[in-house]
Structure 1
C-alpha cells in the first residue's frame, strides 16, 4: 500500500518509519513524506493512477489539510485515493468538516499507531 504522509512537522518521518518498520521491510507499505499541501498535490499529479492513502495534517502553513482534501476530492476518487486526516484538535466541528469534504476519518494527534494500522487494513469507506 502506498501511503503519502503530509505534515509540516518533519519529525513525523522517523516516527512513522519506526512504527511501521516491519510493514516497510516486508513491502506491505511504501511511505512517501511531503511537508506541504502543495507538495502533496504535485506528488499526486505525478502519480495520477497510483492507488494511495493520504494521511494529512489539518493545520499546516500555506494550504491547510482541509483545502488539500477538497482539491484531492475534486480530481481523485475512491477507492484509488483514500484520505485520513490527522490533527491535534480533533473536535466535532473539525471531524464533521473533514467527513463532509470527503475524508474517510479524522485521527487525533499524537497518533495512536495501533488504531492507524487497523484503519489502514480496512477496505475504503464507500
Structure 2
C-alpha cells in the first residue's frame, strides 16, 4: 500500500474535485486519496490506517455533528505524527488561531489553491521517502 492522503469534508462534490485536481498523481500511484464525509468517519478511518503510511489529513472545519476543530485533538491523540491542514470558507484570524492552537499544521481557505496544496503534498511525499 502506498502513501495515503485523507480528505474529510461533508460536501459531496469535494471528492470529485480533488480526484480531478490530482488525477495524474493518482493515476501514477504517487499517493492514494481517501475520503471521509464526517469527522466520526474520519476518526475510524484514521484509527484503521495505523499500518498505512498516512502522510496528510485535509479537513473541513464546518461539518454537521463534530466539527473539524473538535476532531483535531482526537486525531492528534491517534496519529500525533500526521499533519492536519484545516480547510474553511472563513479564513478569519480567529479561526486560524483556533486551528493552530488545536494542533493544525496549516489552514487553507476555499476556494482551495490547488497549486499550494500540491506543493504541500509533494513536501510530505519527500519526507515519507
Same fold flag (TM > 0.5) = yes
Which residue number corresponds to residue 72 of structure 1?
75
Aligned residues: 122
Which residue number corresponds to residue 59 of structure 2?
56
Which residue number corresponds to residue 18 of structure 1?
20
* Unaligned segments of structure 2, at least 5 residues: none
Deviation at 1:90, TM superposition (A): 0.9
Q: Return the alpha-carbon distance in structure 1 between the equivalents of residues 33 and 88 of structure 2.
A: 19
> Do structure 1's residue 113 and structure 2's residue 100 form an aligned pair?
no
SS in 1 for 2:66: coil
Q: Return the alpha-carbon distance in structure 1 between the equivalents of residues 72 and 105 of structure 2.
A: 11
User: Which deviates more, 27-36 or 48-57?
Assistant: 48-57
The Cα RMSD (Å) is 1.2
State TM-score, norm by structure 1: 0.91
SS in 2 for 1:122: helix
